[in-house]
Amino acid sequence: MNLKVVSLEGQLVTDSRDVALSINREHNSLMKSIRGYIQHLTQGKIAHSNFFIESIYQDSTGRSLPCYLLTKKGCNMVANKMTGEKGVLFTAAYVTKFEEMEEAFKAPRVLTEREQLEASMKLSLSNSEDVKELKGEVVEIRDMVENQITLDHGEQRRIQKAVAIKVYSLESDKTKQGKLFAELHREIKDRFGVSSYKDVKRKELQSAIRYVESWVPKRVS
């Protein structure tokens, strides 16, 4: 059966002329039956456009003649009125054609070269924006590490060691060494704005060590 199913504004339909050929029936006879179905639907307050859609076609002489476009429901209504082999074959034909078209609409459409290029450009732009956002997050994390994270235990020990080396190089008297330790620790806190040398920011570790190494006490008494 040469039954064609097409999409009309998103709805799948077939032409009443093709239906007539498929069931070996005169088109005018089928049109008369369809008008009867529409009358019954209207009386039952059911929208007939869900089954049959009025349309026109041009014949070989150029005349505009009426026809109907049948939805899947419309084909089903026609098939229900048929018996025997014709009814079975028509049902198989229209069900198969409608399902084929439904599957075709579900399948991914192959993009044209232009559409592929546009999609590629959009993807590249999207990736570029993602990279910018990721870089921003990295910068933010790095800033947090540098400006908020303080020394770990090993880094604290490095400052302690630098302080000890400096004090011992300046004074051998243990009593005076104690005063120098207190003075240097106090000046580290003042210099780096912290309550303890342990709170020195990690990014300032090298600056703190250099400060200790070049430190000169105010007095030795």
Ordered per-residue pLDDT tens for the chain, 221 residues: 678 898 888 889 999 999 999 899 999 999 999 999 999 999 999 999 999 999 999 888 989 999 999 999 999 999 988 888 888 989 998 999 899 888 887 766 666 767 666 666 666 666 665 556 666 665 666 666 566 678 888 888 898 888 889 888 888 887 888 888 888 889 898 988 888 888 888 888 899 899 989 999 886 54
- Looking at the fold, whether 166 and 88 belong to one and the same domain comes out as no
Is residue 171 domain-shared with residue 80, that is, in the same domain? no
Strand order in 64-70's β-sheet?
Answer: 6-8, 11-15, 64-70, 52-58
CA angle (84, 85, 87) in 5-degree steps: 70
Residue type, 27: H
Residue 201 forms part of a structural domain:
yes
Q: Is residue 114 in some structural domain? A: no
166/78 same-domain check: no
Q: What DSSP state is assigned to residue 109?
A: P
Contact by Cβ (8 Å): 6, 13? yes
* 116 found inside a domain: no
* Closest alpha carbon to 71 in 9, 11, 10: 11
Q: What domain count does the chain have?
A: 2
Residues composing the chain: 221
- On whether both 95 and 173 belong to a single domain, the answer is no
Q: Does residue 117 fall inside a structural domain?
A: no
**Residue 192: alpha-carbon gap to chain centroid:** 47
**Residue 203 lies inside a defined structural domain of this protein:** yes
Looking at the structure, tell me whether residues 94 and 20 fall in a common domain.
yes
Per-residue pLDDT at 43: 95
Rounded Cα–Cα distance for residues 130 and 127 (Å): 5
pLDDT at position 221: 45
Regarding whether 169 and 86 lie in a shared domain, the answer is no
Q: In whole angstroms, what is the distance from residue 161 CA to residue 197 CA?
A: 12
Domain carrying residue 79: 6-106
Shared domain check, 95 and 161? no
| In a shared domain, residues 79 and 163 | no
Cα 105 to Cα 66, 102, 113, 190, distances in angstroms = 29, 5, 20, 74
What whole-number distance in Å separates Cα of residue 160 and Cα of residue 212? 10
Q: What are the distances in angstroms from CA 6 to CA 18, 104, 149, 202?
A: 12, 11, 67, 71
Indicate whether 98 and 157 sit together in one domain. Answer: no
